[in-house]
Amino acid sequence: MNNFILTDTCFWIGLLDVTDQYHNESMAISDIIQDSILIIPYPCLYESLNTKLIRNKKRLAHFEQLIRANNIQLFGDEKYRESALEQVFSKNKKHYEQNFSLVDAVLREILKDVNVKIEYLISYNEKDFYDICAIRNIHIIRDK
C-alpha cells in the first residue's frame, strides 16, 4: 500500500487514551493504515507528549514504540513556522470564519506544500483542513 499519511494529534491521543472520545475510531483506522507511511509533524509530537501522557509510563512506552517503527516519518516544521505564526495572528485578529491553533496552522502549511508527498490526512477536525485537502486532492480519513 505505502500511502503517505499526515497525522494530526487527535489521532495519536485517541489511539493511546482509552478514555478519549476518538479511541475506537483511532483503533479502527490504525488497523487499516498499517502498511502506510505515517508522517508526524513535530508540533503534533509536542501536543501528544503532554504531561498526562508522560505520567502514564505504559502509554508513554507504547507511544515510543509506535513512533520508532519503520513506517513513521518525524517531520520537521522549521520551514513552516513563521508563515504559520503569521497566519494565526492575522486570521485571529480579524473576524475570520475559522480560527486555527498554531499547530493546525503548521499542518495547513505542510498540506499546502506541493513538494511534500501526502495522499491522506488523519484528523477529526475536517473543517480545519478540508479546503486545502480539496485543492491538493488529499483525502481525509475517518472511520465513520
Residue ranges per structural domain of the chain = 4-78+117-141
* DSSP-based three-state secondary structure for 39: strand
Q: What is the pTM of this model?
A: 0.92
Per residue in 79-104, pLDDT tens?
A: 999 999 998 888 766 666 677 899 99
Number of H helices, E strands in the chain: 8, 5
| Residue 91 pLDDT | 74
| Residue 143 pLDDT | 56
Query: What is the CATH number that goes with domain 4-78+117-141?
Result: 3.40.50.1010
